[in-house]
Amino acid sequence: MVPSLMLNNIDITKLPPDAKKDFMKYAIKLTQKRKQSTLSKDFLSFVKAMWPQFIEGPHHKIIAKKFNDIAEGKIKRLIINMPPRHTKSEFASYLLPSWMVGRKPDLKIIQTTHTTELAIRFGRKAKTLIDSPEYQQIFSTTLREDSKAAGKWETAQGGEYTPPAPDRP
């Protein structure tokens, strides 16, 4: 039996050609929907889809689990203490806001970092990701047409990303 003609142990080899074609079309749509559901519900799956070069470590699974818990309302506060170069900024300041606003397009996010410039840079990265075709295959969140600022932007659904006020000497 040809593997591509099997879905959940359903043998479609005896179906007429037009029925096979329809079945396969719907099987592909179902597979895409399942993948979309996984990526929207699981932070680490989302990361791997958006960042193909990402190399997963055990600490990433722990952080991702905590981010899933935040998204599901199981925890309200989280402090991440790790050495530099362990992906905490990429996860917490760029990918997490993008994923969260995808899940809840009217979410309002305030991004704080040790400098305003860094918060704006993360905002720009998040905005670019949200505008990407890969992201749009997962989420229906869109940015407002008039939301041009790199670091501060709004979604068409009422969400916002706001960095802190500019640094003052």
Give percent of the chain above pLDDT 90. 60
At residue 160, the pLDDT reads 94
Compute the distance between CA of residue 56 and CA of residue 62 in angstroms, rounded to an integer.
Answer: 11
pLDDT of 38 higher than 50: yes
Compute the distance between CA of residue 81 and CA of residue 83 in angstroms, rounded to an integer.
Answer: 7
Q: For the residues 132-156, what does the mean pLDDT come to?
A: 89
**What is the full DSSP assignment across the chain?**
--GGGEETTEE-TTS-HHHHHHHHHHHHHHHHHHHHHHHHH-HHHHHHHH-TT----HHHHHHHHHHHHHHTTS-S-------TTSSHHIIIIIIHHHHHHHHSTT-EEE---SSHHHHHHHHHHHHHHHHSHHHHTT----B-TT---SSSEEBTTS-EEEPPPPP--
Q: How far is CA 124 from the centre of its chain?
A: 15
Mean pLDDT, all residues of the chain: 88
Instruction: Tell me the range of 111-115, 119-123, 164-168 where mean pLDDT is highest.
Output: 119-123
Q: For the residues 92-103, what does the mean pLDDT come to?
A: 95
- If one compares 81 and 23, the residue with the highest pLDDT of the two is 81
Structure tokens at 16: 């007429």
At residue 8, the pLDDT reads 63
* Cβ 101 vs Cβ 155: under 8 Å: yes
Q: For the residues 41-59, what does the mean pLDDT come to?
A: 96
